[in-house]
């Protein structure tokens, strides 16, 4: 008896990963990928990374709800957003180096479009706070040009779109206590303890 299936043409199963890679490559080539994202594991939990063609635009902690963050980016920046890890490989590599105590500062392009005015002035100052050091909200306010804007510094740090990379975790209260942090107090403690070691 002959096998009737032997004479049928071979069909190939579609691989979703392969299709996604093609979609990303085509979108990049055509200039249609406005936002690329990926997640990375870290000692402070999974981090969502998102980048435009200008640079890293968002870092989000798991507690911030990555799906909600992506939806917000889609409405704020562009709905043309895809999981495209390759665009974020340099950031992921530097974060890995940072968390294994091999890197003290980040050297990746940053897109600050999610911050304006005084908030942007605060964020631009934060990388000047050295690894393993802290500044008070009052010190940051003075450095950003508005010594009385201590609460506004707190808001700028709380709304920092690029935590860890733009180190708002290094800003503490005048009494040395941690204050608020987008990743939670335990994440802030972990980062400061790691840097102090």
Q: Which of 165, 168, 171, 187 is catalytic?
A: 168
Distance CA 82, CA 91 (A): 17
Distance CA 53, CA 92 (A): 16
| Whether the Cβ atoms of residue 140 and residue 100 lie closer than 8 Å to each other | no
Using only C-alpha atoms, the chain has a radius of gyration, in whole angstroms, of 21
DSSP code at position 116: -
Distance CA 89, CA 95 (A): 10
Calculate the CA dihedral of residues 171, 177, 180, 186 and round it to 10 degrees.
100
Q: What are the strands, taking DSSP E only, across 74-170?
A: 81-83, 135-136
Q: Is 168 a catalytic residue?
A: yes
35 membership: H or E segment, kind and range: strand 35-40
| Whether the Cβ atoms of residue 34 and residue 70 lie closer than 8 Å to each other | no
Distance CA 192, CA 179 (A): 12
Closest CA to 114 of 63, 176, 52: 52
The residues annotated with a catalytic role in the active site are 168
């Amino acid at each position: 008896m002959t096998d009737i299936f032997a004479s049928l043409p071979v069909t190939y199963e579609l691989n979703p990963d392969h299709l996604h890679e093609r979609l990303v490559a085509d979108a990049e080539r055509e200039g249609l990928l406005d936002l690329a994202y990926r997640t990375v594991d870290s000692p402070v939990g999974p981090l969502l990374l998102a980048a435009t063609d200008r640079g890293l635009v968002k870092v989000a902690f798991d507690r911030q709800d990555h799906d909600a963050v992506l939806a917000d980016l889609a409405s704020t920046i562009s709905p043309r957003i895809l999981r495209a890890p390759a665009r974020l490989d340099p950031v992921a590599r530097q974060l890995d180096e940072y968390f294994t105590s091999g890197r003290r500062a980040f050297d990746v392009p940053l897109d600050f479009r999610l911050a304006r005015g005084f908030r942007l002035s605060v964020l631009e100052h934060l990388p000047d706070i050295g690894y393993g050091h802290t500044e008070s909200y009052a010190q940051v306010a003075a450095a950003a040009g508005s010594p009385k804007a201590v609460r506004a510094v707190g808001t700028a740090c709380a709304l920092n779109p690029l935590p860890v990379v733009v180190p708002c975790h290094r800003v503490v209260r005048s009494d040395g206590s941690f204050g608020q942090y987008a990743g939670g107090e335990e994440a802030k403690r972990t980062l400061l303890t790691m840097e102090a070691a």
